[in-house]
Chain A
Amino acid sequence: MKILVCISNVPDTTTKITFTSNNTQFNTAGVQFIVNPYDEIALSRAIELCEGGKGTVTVINVGESQTDPTIRKALAIGADDAVRINAAPRDAYFTAYQIAEYAKTTEFDMILCGRESIDYNGSQVAAMIGEFLDIPSVSIIKKLDYDGSTATIEREIEGGKEVITISGKFVASCSEGTAEPKIPNMRGIMSARTKPLITAEAKDIEAVTKVQEFETPAPRGAVKLVPAEETAKLIDLLHQEAKVI
Chain B
Amino acid sequence: MSVLVYVEQVDGKFKKSVFEAVSYAKSIADQQSTNLTAISIGNVDESELKTLGQYGASKVLNVSNEQLQHFVNQAYASVITEAAKKENADIIVLSNSFSGKGLAPRIAVKLKAGLVDGATELPKIDGGKFTVKKSAFSGKAFATVEISSAIKVIALNPNAFGVKESGAEAVIETFSPEVKSTDLAAIVKEIVRATNKVSLPDAEIVVSGGRGLKGPENWGMIEELANLLGAATACSKPVSDADWRPHSEHVGQTGIAISPNLYIAIGISGAIQHLAGVSSSKVIVVINKDPEAPFFKVADYGIVGDAFEIVPKLIEALKAHKG
Q: Which residues of A contact B (CB under 8 A)?
A: 11, 13-14, 16-17, 19, 37-38, 91-93, 96, 118-128, 130-132, 134-140, 142, 152, 155-168, 170, 175-177, 206-217, 220-221, 223-228, 231-232, 234-239, 242, 244-245
Contacts and interface: CB of A to CB of B under 8 A. Distances in A.
14 contacts: A14-B273, A93-B108, A123-B118, A137-B102, A161-B248, A164-B188, A170-B185, A207-B148, A212-B131, A226-B303, A228-B304, A235-B317, A235-B318, A238-B262
Interface residues of B, number: 104
Contacts of A92: 105, 115
Contacts of A162: 71, 188, 190-192
A72 B126 CA distance: 44
Given A212-B131, A223-B302, A238 B193 contact: no
A37 B277 CA distance: 15
Contacts of A209: 114-116, 145-148
Contact of A235 (B137, B306, B314): B314
Given A156-B98, A217-B280, A136 B229 contact: no
A168 B185 contact: yes
A128 B105 contact: yes
A208 B149 contact: yes
B248 A122 contact: no
Nearest to A236: B321
Given A165-B189, A211-B144, A225 B304 contact: yes
Given A176-B255, A231-B310, 5 more contacts: A163-B188, A207-B148, A226-B303, A242-B262, A244-B205
B73 A160 contact: no
B191 A211 contact: no
Contacts of A228: 303-306, 309-310
A166 B144 CA distance: 37
A11 B147 CA distance: 25
Interface residue SS majority, chain B: mixed
Contacts of A215: 141-142, 144
Given A92-B105, A223-B297, A163 B283 contact: no
Given A132-B109, A158-B98, A176-B255, A122 B117 contact: yes
Interface stretch (B31-39, B51-59, B196-204): B196-204
Interface residue SS majority, chain A: mixed
Interface string B87-131: 000000000011101111110111011111110000000000101
Interface centre among A16, A17, A96, A122 (most CB of B within 10 A): A122
A211 to B, nearest CB: 5
A134 B182 contact: yes
Interface string B226-255: 000100000000001000000110100111
A124 B105 CA distance: 5
B74 A137 contact: yes
Contacts of B97: 158
B301 A223 contact: yes
B179 interface: no
A133 B130 CA distance: 29
A211 B137 CA distance: 13
A122 B296 CA distance: 30
Contacts of B195: 159
